[in-house]
Amino acid sequence: MLSFLKSHPFAVETFFESSLVLTYAVLKEELTAFIPECLELDLFEDKWAFIAVAMVKTKKLRPKGFPSFMGHDFLLTGYRIFVRYTTSEGKSLRGFLGNVFTHYNYSTTDIDFSNSRSIITVQSDKSDLDIKVNLENEDAVLPPSSPFHNWKEARRFAGPLPFTFTYNTATKKVLIIEGVRENWIPRPVEVMHSNVGFIKQFGLKEIVLANAFLLQNIPYYWKKGKIDLWKG
């Protein structure tokens, strides 16, 4: 089913049972090489770019309008880079580049997602993933290493960013997928431990944890994908 949805030929809907996101700040010079020519990094203080790992438990993922019994449940993980794109009509869009909710380039893994006594643990030996967060600490606003000065600043990089982008370098066409959601209220969480293979594969020299948050019980759907011809 996921491979069939590569280019979003129609709208897709699901329900986010939970979405745990850890966002890392990286010097912009280090992350520029990882984005295509049509995109720009979404920056903070003209210095920091951001890459996040998302762990999302979806329920009844299916084409929009189909009955829920035809849907499938997934635990999806992957990375997202915060970017901006200017369309051929001159409209500026803010969103993500990455392997979550774009072309569904997934492989199976041995991931385990558990919530016990207000502690969420996400582990995978195959994907080199080991994360533990505490939901009880109501004062958990920002990690000590964060470049943000307060949660208001960090909130700008906790979504919702409605768009995801995929670029075809041969045709210079950009696939734009718009997400629509309700009740997007990110809850800051305390990161007790984090080891993220998705992030380490980039080989970045200076990278710090910028924020971490949890979302729960979010109705969500993606509109049919649109193609835009980049004129850069």
Burial class (CB in 10 A: 0-12, 13-18, 19+), 151: middle
> Residue 102: what pLDDT?
46
Q: Does residue 228 fall inside a structural domain?
A: no
Q: Does residue 149 fall inside a structural domain?
A: yes
> Residue 8: what pLDDT?
61
Q: Is the pLDDT of residue 103 over 60?
A: no
What's the pLDDT tens digit per position in 72-84? 888 888 889 999 9
Helix (H), strand (E) at residue 28: helix 28-31
Q: Does residue 229 fall inside a structural domain?
A: no
User: Can you give the residue range of the structural domain that contains 206?
Assistant: 3-223
> Residue 197: what pLDDT?
85
What's the pLDDT tens digit per position in 177-190? 998 888 888 999 99
Residue 191: count other Cβ atoms within 10 Å of its Cβ: 16
Nearest to 75 by CA among 120, 101, 113, 121: 113
Q: Does residue 232 fall inside a structural domain?
A: no
56 DSSP β-pair partners: 19, 76
Q: Is the pLDDT of residue 101 over 50?
A: no
Q: Is the pLDDT of residue 59 over 70?
A: yes
User: How many angstroms separate the CA atoms of 207 and 129, rounded?
Assistant: 17
CATH (domain of 57)? 2.40.400
Give the number of residues written for the chain. 232
pTM flag (> 0.85): yes
Q: Is the pLDDT of residue 126 over 50?
A: yes
Burial class (CB in 10 A: 0-12, 13-18, 19+), 141: middle
Q: Which letter does DSSP use for residue 104 in this model?
A: -
Both ends of the chain: CA-CA distance in Å?
A: 34
Strand runs labelled E in the chain: 12-27, 39-41, 48-63, 72-86, 92-98, 112-116, 119-124, 129-134, 163-168, 173-181, 187-188, 190-196, 207-222, 226-229
Per the CB < 8 A criterion, the answer to whether 44 and 25 are in contact is: yes
Q: Is the pLDDT of residue 1 over 50?
A: no
Number of domains in the chain: 1
Find all residues with CB under 8 Å of 123, minimum gap 6, and list them.
111, 112, 129, 130, 131
Per the CB < 8 A criterion, the answer to whether 93 and 38 are in contact is: no
Per the CB < 8 A criterion, the answer to whether 186 and 155 are in contact is: yes
> Residue 210: what pLDDT?
96
Q: Does residue 230 fall inside a structural domain?
A: no
As a whole number of Å, the CA-based R_g of the chain is 17
Q: Is the pLDDT of residue 45 over 60?
A: yes
Res. 107 pLDDT band, cuts 50 70 90: low
User: How many angstroms separate the CA atoms of 85 and 164, rounded?
Assistant: 10
